[in-house]
Chains A and B, each alone.
Chain A
Amino acid sequence: MNKQLVIKCLKAGFIGLVLLLLYAPILLLAVYSFIGTDIIGKGGAFSFEHYEKLFGDPVILGMIGNTLLLALLAALLSTILGTVGALGMFYCKKRVKALLHGVSQIPVINAEIVTALALAITFVTVGIGKSYFTMLIGHLVICTPFVVLSVIPKLKQMDNSLYEAALDLGASPLKALLTVVLPQIIPGVISGFMLAVTLSLDDYIVTVYTRPNGFETISTYVFNATMRGNAHTAETLSSFWALTTIIFVVIVLVVVLSNLSTLRKKEAKR
């Protein structure tokens, strides 16, 4: 009995230790985001000065806006492209399906930097150059395959006879797709959309290779600020503590709220 207890404690301890390591850097920043010092480790009074700096800097606010807008646009377009594509692929002949699926996997398994370099060189060689459009295409290339991947399982689970029934009852194919097929795959579409948002928000490499001059996202801005380390950017470093904390809190809220709502749904079903 005692041995089992020891093993249990060891297991819990190990899990706890790994979690502690994962959260230590984030919690450190969260604590220091409320302390009036620019150097971590130095003492200071409780203050909101980093948050004030964050919200008072138009450049930083601008790049946050850029990041969010790009992510929403990329997610929206890749969800449409990916959902329609997954639907079409699902009804194709086996060989065509396998081929499309294989090509669609390339950006998923490929190193991001290879995708980014290939796109950038192609755009410049063809003469398109780099613009918001090319950057959006870059984000679509990394997001859309994941949308396809999250829609396909739902298509496989779907009851195919419902579509046939809708046609027999006189619905046009388009109407049958929209009113019968789409509702069945919508959970996959939504999770594909969320996935696309997070992929686009997180991206550094594809953005750097395909962006227009002077365009900054959170990733590129923070990277430049920490790496160059000149006086102006060094000052903004502490506002990143506040930014990290805000993002962390938002994520925790989203996760807790979505878990609560699924719990409630489950209870309602009972």
Chain B
Amino acid sequence: MNIALLIVTVVACALLLGGGALLVYRLKFGRMPRFSRKTLCIPYAVFLVFFVIVPMLVILVYAFTDREMGFSFGNFVKFFSDPTKLSTIAYSIVIALITTVVCLVIAFPVAYILARSKMKKKSVILMLFVLPMWINFVLRINAIRELFNWMGLLGETNYFNTVFGMVYDFLPFMILPIYTTIMKIDESLYEASRDLGANGITTFTRVTLPLSVPGIMSGVTMVFLPSMTNYVVSDMLGNSMVTIIGKFIYEYFGSDWHMGSMVALVLLIVVFVSTLLTGGFKSEENVRGANL
């Protein structure tokens, strides 16, 4: 029972550390510390350090070392000077871009129509768009695979199938943030726009569209990144003929961790830059947690 032993060790270490800290405090100040609510964040902080920060540092180290663990930029040079790799990256980015644009083109009207509708039960319809997300995602992709197989598309239109699958999978990520931002627009702004003589189209382009940009941005970041990395969709629907950046990491995981870490590091940088540009992820746009 390796696992039980490990858990016992971890718990014992935590107790020892905590007890030791208390003892040091006692010796230094001559009394036990008073309970402070702040201390409650310690377990989570320790968890974050060990399982979020340390792994990121490990990736950083692997990315900048060669197989003999000496410092090198060789991984970057090797990867970015390989024309087949570069063309695959280009393909992957194009697929992600098309997915994002298609998602936006479908999601914006849906979100707009629902958010501006005066229907009482519109939250039910919104719910219908989110509901398929709760079916296991591989089973969902498998359902599309069966549908394409029946239609004779499987193995024929690999890129179309991949993009369809990604749009299918990520559409709610685009609908919900846009819906929330449009819902938040103050009704009086529309009235003001009408009173000032703007017609429906002007109101849309001058009021609705600019104010829904934050929702569009967070939708775009939530769709673009997974569609570059989620190789389950491209493998199952693209008949393994479509390679996306995420697949590289998978392949390197079996062969060369240094190269794999390098690709992961590049993705990490892309994520941080895009987060800085779009102002980060907001909890109220937390799609999966949508309390509908």
Partners in one complex: yes
A interface, CB within 8 angstroms of B: 11, 14-15, 18-19, 21-26, 28-29, 32, 40-41, 81-82, 84-92, 96, 100, 103-115, 117-122, 125, 128, 131-133, 137, 140-141, 144, 146, 148-150, 152-153, 172-174, 177, 191-192, 195, 198-199, 201-202, 204-205, 209, 218-220, 222-223, 226-227, 240-241, 243-244, 247-248, 251-252, 255, 259
Instruction: Report A-chain residues with C-beta under 8 Å of the C-beta of B42.
Output: 88
Shortest C-beta distance, B204 to chain A (Å), equals 13
- Complex Cα distance, B110 from A82, in Å, reads 34
Instruction: Decide yes or no: A251 and B246 within 8 Å by CB, A15-B114, A111-B226 being known contacts.
Output: no
The 3 lowest CB-CB distance pairs between A and B, nearest first, are: A85-B44, A88-B41, A88-B40
Residue B286, interface by CB 8 Å: yes
Instruction: Report B-chain residues with C-beta under 8 Å of the C-beta of A91.
Output: 36-38, 40-41
- Complex Cα distance, B51 from A137, in Å, reads 8
Instruction: Decide yes or no: A133 and B281 within 8 Å by CB, A19-B128, A81-B47, A191-B291 being known contacts.
Output: no
Instruction: Decide yes or no: A84 and B44 within 8 Å by CB, A25-B140, A118-B58 being known contacts.
Output: yes
Instruction: Report A-chain residues with C-beta under 8 Å of the C-beta of B281.
Output: 105, 108-109
- Complex Cα distance, B35 from A174, in Å, reads 8
Other than the given A85-B44, A103-B52, 18 more pairs (CB < 8 A) read A24-B147, A29-B146, A85-B41, A109-B221, A114-B229, A114-B271, A118-B55, A121-B59, A146-B288, A150-B283, A152-B283, A177-B37, A219-B138, A222-B136, A222-B139, A223-B235, A226-B145, A244-B139
- Complex Cα distance, B132 from A252, in Å, reads 9
Instruction: Report A-chain residues with C-beta under 8 Å of the C-beta of B110.
Output: 14-15, 18
Instruction: Decide yes or no: A114 and B59 within 8 Å by CB, A28-B150, A150-B286, A199-B288 being known contacts.
Output: yes
**Which residues of B2-60 have CB atoms within 8 Å of chain A's CB atoms?**
2-3, 6-7, 35-45, 47-48, 51-56, 58-59
Query: Would you mind naming 19 contact pairs between A and B with Cβ atoms under 8 Å apart?
Result: A25-B147, A26-B132, A81-B47, A82-B44, A96-B41, A111-B226, A113-B249, A114-B229, A114-B268, A144-B44, A146-B286, A148-B44, A191-B291, A192-B289, A218-B136, A218-B139, A223-B235, A226-B142, A240-B139
* Contact across chains for A25 and B288 when beta carbons are under 8 A apart: no
* Contact across chains for A92 and B136 when beta carbons are under 8 A apart: no
* Contact across chains for A41 and B40 when beta carbons are under 8 A apart: no
Residue B127, interface by CB 8 Å: yes
* Contact across chains for A112 and B58 when beta carbons are under 8 A apart: no
Instruction: Decide yes or no: A133 and B58 within 8 Å by CB, A19-B128, A111-B226, A201-B136 being known contacts.
Output: no
Shortest C-beta distance, B284 to chain A (Å), equals 7
- Complex Cα distance, B54 from A103, in Å, reads 11
Instruction: Decide yes or no: A247 and B35 within 8 Å by CB, A24-B147, A106-B52, A146-B288 being known contacts.
Output: no
Query: Interface SS of chain A: helix, strand, loop or mixed?
Result: helix
Instruction: Report B-chain residues with C-beta under 8 Å of the C-beta of A209.
Output: 253
* Contact across chains for B55 and A119 when beta carbons are under 8 A apart: yes
- Complex Cα distance, B45 from A148, in Å, reads 12
- Complex Cα distance, B139 from A248, in Å, reads 10
Instruction: Report B-chain residues with C-beta under 8 Å of the C-beta of A205.
Output: 230, 232
Most buried by B among A23, A117, A125, A255: A117
* Contact across chains for B43 and A28 when beta carbons are under 8 A apart: no
Instruction: Decide yes or no: A103 and B48 within 8 Å by CB, A122-B55, A132-B3 being known contacts.
Output: yes
* Contact across chains for A111 and B40 when beta carbons are under 8 A apart: no
- Complex Cα distance, B230 from A205, in Å, reads 9
Instruction: Report A-chain residues with C-beta under 8 Å of the C-beta of B289.
Output: 146, 149-150, 191-192, 195
**Which residues of B82-97 have CB atoms within 8 Å of chain A's CB atoms?**
none
Instruction: Report A-chain residues with C-beta under 8 Å of the C-beta of B6.
Output: 128, 131, 133
Instruction: Report B-chain residues with C-beta under 8 Å of the C-beta of A19.
Output: 125, 128-129
* Contact across chains for A204 and B47 when beta carbons are under 8 A apart: no
* Contact across chains for A117 and B59 when beta carbons are under 8 A apart: yes
